[in-house]
Amino acid sequence: MSEIITRRKFIVGAAAATLLAGCDTHPIKSFLGAMQHWNEKFEGFVFSPNRLAPELPASDATLESAFPSYFISDTIPTVPANWTLSVGGMVEREMVLTLDQLQKMTRTDLRVRHHCVEGWSAVASWHGVRVSEIAKLARLKPGVKYVEFNSFDEDYFSSWDLGSAMHPQTLLAYGMNGHPLGSGHGAPLRVYSAVKLGYKMCKYLTEVNFLPNKTGGYWEDQGYDWFGGV
Ligand SMILES: Nc1nc2c(c(=O)[nH]1)N[C@H]1C(S)=C(S)[C@@H](COP(=O)(O)O)O[C@H]1N2
Ligand SMILES: [Mo]
């Protein structure tokens, strides 16, 4: 536990490095405490499936070289050979999907601001498949209430409420700014969503599991707000 907590997170990108210099503690925790209250109060309204977050024009995009890459391992995680995405849990149809299969599904593009609790934000355009599309193909069994995303770097994971995962602006993204996702940003596949803070959006995805129970998350288990709504 303490080893995990003291592990230094790495951040790449000149702008981010400047922003975070001398910022190894988590000043955001009190902010999160305040947010939790806000989330509980507005959750039902904010995550109504009909309510879309406003998307931003291309002119708002952050220069990609200035978009921070933020990951917990010491070096940039690289894509394992024969990478696939497993979809399972309480579903009628478990699936093992290749990147090629994901890229042939209905594509959704999304440009909204990314908010990291460490104090930076940035804008890019993301391209991928809605999680709701994956759920439709897998056919959820009754009783699914949560979705857990798992990653191949250091057992990073995060669990989400089903409503946020099914939101039309929650994607499994394989592209960024018109090109395939780079290793710094979660290649080959990551979660990107208009409705969650950065740490909820698992990069380097390996599994999506539809579950009846709530699990935690890499940062959530260390005190970050579980809901993590924007
Ligand atoms: N697998 C994995 N996903 C992750 C992380 C990570 O370290 N590993 N960091 C999270 C945090 S704290 C943020 S802010 C975003 C950063 O995404 P970016 O590197 O594309 O900016 O990824 C999130 N998802
Ligand atoms: Mo973050």
Domains defined along the chain, listed by start: 2-46 (no CATH), 58-222 (3.90.420.10)
For the stretch 59-96, pLDDT in tens is 999 999 999 999 999 999 999 999 999 999 999 999 99
**Residue 126: half-sphere exposure toward Cβ, Cα within 13 Å:** 30
Residue nearest (by alpha carbon) to ligand 1 atom 21: 69
Q: Answer whether residue 23 shows pLDDT above 70.
A: no
* CA geometry: angle 182, 220, 93, nearest 5 deg: 65
Q: Answer whether residue 18 shows pLDDT above 60.
A: no
What was the pLDDT predicted at 51? 84
Q: Are 9 and 116 in contact (CB under 8 A)?
A: no
- Please give the mean pLDDT across all residues of the chain: 86
For the stretch 119-171, pLDDT in tens is 999 999 999 999 999 999 999 999 999 999 999 999 999 999 999 999 999 99
What was the pLDDT predicted at 99? 98
Measured CA distances, 218 to 39, 44, 92 (Å): 20, 25, 28
Instruction: Assess whether the previous peptide bond of 142 is cis (omega < 30° from 0).
Output: no
Q: Are 150 and 88 in contact (CB under 8 A)?
A: no
Candidate from 70, 159, 225 with most ligand 1 atoms within 8 A of CB, to mutate: 70
Q: What are phi and psi of 155, to 5 degrees?
A: 60, 30
CA of 140 to the centre of ligand 1 (A): 27
Residue nearest (by alpha carbon) to ligand 1 atom 11: 199
CA of 26 to the centre of ligand 2 (A): 11
What was the pLDDT predicted at 118? 94
For the stretch 189-207, pLDDT in tens is 999 999 999 999 999 999 9
Q: Are 24 and 10 in contact (CB under 8 A)?
A: no
CA of 105 to the centre of ligand 1 (A): 24
What was the pLDDT predicted at 221? 98
pTM: 0.84
Q: How much is the average pLDDT of 211-221?
A: 98
To which H or E segment does residue 175 belong?
Answer: strand 170-176
Of 1-5, 39-43, 117-121, 197-201, where does mean pLDDT reach its minimum? 1-5
Secondary structure class of 102 (helix, strand, coil): helix
* Whole-number Å distance between alpha carbons of 166 and 133: 8
Residues contacting 18, CB < 8 A, separation 6+:
none
Q: Answer whether residue 46 shows pLDDT above 60.
A: no
List, in sequence order, every residue forming a beta bridge with 20; answer none if it has no partner: none
Residue nearest (by alpha carbon) to ligand 1 atom 16: 70
CA of 120 to the centre of ligand 1 (A): 12
Q: Where would I find the H helices in the chain?
A: 2-6, 14-20, 29-46, 99-104, 131-138, 162-166
Residue nearest (by alpha carbon) to ligand 1 atom 6: 71
